Amino acid sequence: MQSFTYERAASAEQAAAAVAAQPDAKFISGGTNLLDLMKLEIERPAHLVDISRLPLDRIEETAAGGLRVGAQVRNSDLAADPRVRSRYPMLTQALLAGASGQIRNKASTSGNLLQRTRCPYFYDRNMPCNKREQGSGCAALQGFNRTHAVLGASEACIAVHPSDMAVAMAGLDARIETISPGGETRTIPIGDLHRLPEATPHVETVLGHGEMIAAVTLPPPPPGRQVYRKVRDRASYAFALVSVAAIVEKSGDRIRSARIAMGGVAARPWRATEAERTLAGAVASDGAFTDAAEAALAGAVGHGGNDFKIPLAKRTMRHTLAAAVESA
């Protein structure tokens, strides 16, 4: 970990300005991802602006009937909030399926969204990795890529975004509020926050330098039952191989609408819009779930080690949809 200077931010505007003022400055929130990477010198900020004490730690009702979650709300507090538990249960489920009790107590809403990939070659500075070192190559493409992406990847990078929380948020159409150094704010739909790798996998989001996430807004809960299902290699404390967040609204024996997002399959939480379209109006049946799963993975490409993710994602989606329908 190279030397840095440290300051505690006094306000959101000041924090944004402080980071913007130095090209090598970074926000530090919970620190659970940034410090991990700094110890390995994958991240080498020269200045840290500590935003963990900013008063962005509240969950408030919005006029529209949704919730506005401050960037500094800890993952565990968000998961435990009674309003989230009753109105957005799949968000609670996703949060609780991630990391460990200790990490959730530290991890912030914004940090979770912006955590970086767990690709093991990204994590080893001796290995070629376009994301870590632009133009150095991608060791995963022909290497050990069991955990890698099957959707939206490129020749330059096949890493996945590791967040569980973000997958549930994608299914809930969350919106990201940011504040820029000048004090101006903007709102970004969660689906637009993360960029697909294309030729520039090191550019991961649409945020500008010094642009700070201030809050995440959840629209009013959509009708239907919510389920988050995470599949992993051990019972707990492991990243998703694949995950599915599903909300299914039924009307009689038909599906009125469905929202589906997948994790562990792409460089961003992946909204399965084709699957949603197949389900809308279909009779809730094994066949419909299977068709939806096929539609969701239609464009999927494996890279050898991760080929299994395609059938796994389909099977997981099929039974997650069934579970969502069961008591919808």
Partner 1 sequence: MTETKTSGNRSRETRIGVIGRPIDRIDGPLKVRGDATYAYETTLEGTAFGYILGAAVAKGRIAEIDTGEAERAPAVLLVMTHRNAPAQPDFGPAVTPTVPEVFTRARPALNSERVRYYDEPVALVVAETFEAARAAAGLIKVRYDEEPGLYDLPAHVADAYAPKRTNAGFETDSVIGDFESAFAAAPVKVDATYRTPFEHHNPMEPHATLAAWSGNELTIHTSAQTLANFRAGVASTLRIPPERVRIVSPFIGGGFGSKLIAHADTILAALAAQVLQRPVKIALTRQQMFANAGHRAEMIQQVRLSTDTDGRLTGIAHDVWSATSSFEEYCEQTAVFARSLYAAPNRVTRHRLIPLDINRGEWMRSPGEAPGMLAFECAMDELAERLGLDPIELRIRNEPVQDPERGVPFSTRNLVACMEEGARRFGWERRNPTPGRAREGRKLIGYGMAAAIRPNYIGAATARVAIDRDGRVTARLDMTDIGTGSYTILTQIAAESLGLPISSIKVELGDSRFPRTAGSGGSWGAASAGSALHNACNALKQRILEAAASSEASPLRGAGATDASFADGEVRLGQRSTSLADLIRRIAPDGFEAEGSVAAGAATQSYKAYSQHSYGAHFAEVAVDCDTGEIRMRRMLAVMGAGRILNAKTARSQIIGGMTWGIGAALMEQTVLDPRYGHFVNHDLAEYHVPTNGDVPEMEVVFLEEHDDKANPLGAKGLGELGVCGAGAAVANAIYNATGVRVREFPITLDKLLPALPVIAI
Partner 2 sequence: MAETDYRNGPTRRAVLEGGVATGVLLATSIPAYAEPAGAVSAAASAAPAPTMPMTLRINAKDLSVELDPRTTLLDALRNHLGLTGSKKGCDHGQCGACTVLVDGRRINSCLTLAAMHEGDEITTVEGLAVGDRLHPVQAAFVARDGFQCGYCTPGQICSAVGMLGEARAGWPSHASADVAAASVALTDAEIRERMSGNICRCAAYPNIVAAIRDAAEGA
Ligand X SMILES: Cc1cc2nc3c(=O)[nH]c(=O)nc-3n(C[C@H](O)[C@H](O)[C@H](O)COP(=O)(O)OP(=O)(O)OC[C@H]3O[C@@H](n4cnc5c(N)ncnc54)[C@H](O)[C@@H]3O)c2cc1C
**Contact residues for partner 1, defined by CB under 8 A:** 1-3, 39, 41, 118, 120-121, 123-124, 126-127, 139, 142-144, 146, 231-239, 241, 286, 289, 308, 311-312, 315-316, 318-319, 322
Q: Which of 108, 130, 217, 226 binds ligand X (CB under 6 A)?
A: 108
Q: SS3 of 144, please? A: coil
Spatial CB neighbours of 251, under 8 Å, sequence gap ≥ 6: none
Pattern 97-136, ligand SF4, x by CB under 6 A: --------------------x-x-xx------xxx-----
Spatial contact of 116 and 197, defined as CB atoms under 8 Å apart? no
Q: Which of 213, 241, 317, 324 binds ligand X (CB under 6 A)?
A: 213
Closest separation between CB of residue 306 and partner 1, Å? Answer: 9
**Cα–Cα distance measured from residue 164 to residue 170, given in angstroms and rounded to the nearest whole number:** 10
**Cα–Cα distance measured from residue 77 to residue 326, given in angstroms and rounded to the nearest whole number:** 29
Q: Which of 71, 84, 172, 174 binds ligand X (CB under 6 A)?
A: 71
Q: Which of residues 192-211 bind ligand SF4 (CB under 6 A)?
A: 201
Is residue 141 a contact point for ligand X (CB under 6 A)?
no
Closest separation between CB of residue 311 and partner 1, Å? Answer: 6
Q: Which of 139, 168, 176, 324 binds ligand SF4 (CB under 6 A)?
A: 139
**Cα–Cα distance measured from residue 52 to residue 26, given in angstroms and rounded to the nearest whole number:** 13
Closest separation between CB of residue 294 and ligand SF4, Å? Answer: 26
Positive/negative CA dihedral, 159, 164, 166, 167: positive
Q: Of 87 and 309, which has the nearer Cβ to partner 2?
A: 87
Is residue 36 a contact point for ligand X (CB under 6 A)?
yes
158 binds, among partner 2, ligand X, ligand SF4, none (CB under 5 to 8 A by kind): ligand SF4
For residue 255, which of 292, 228, 218 has the smallest C-alpha distance? 292
Strands (DSSP E) contained in the chain are 5-8, 25-28, 47-50, 59-61, 67-70, 175-179, 185-189, 212-218, 225-231, 242-251, 254-263, 270-271
User: Which of 147-181 are b and which e, b meaning 16 or more Cβ less than 10 Å from the residue's Cβ?
Assistant: bbbbbbbbebbbbbbbbbbbbbbbbbbbbbbbbbb
181 binds, among partner 1, partner 2, ligand SF4, none (CB under 5 to 8 A by kind): none
Is residue 138 a contact point for ligand SF4 (CB under 6 A)?
yes
Instruction: List contacts with ligand SF4 (CB under 6 A).
Output: 117, 119, 121-122, 129-131, 138-140, 148, 157-159, 201
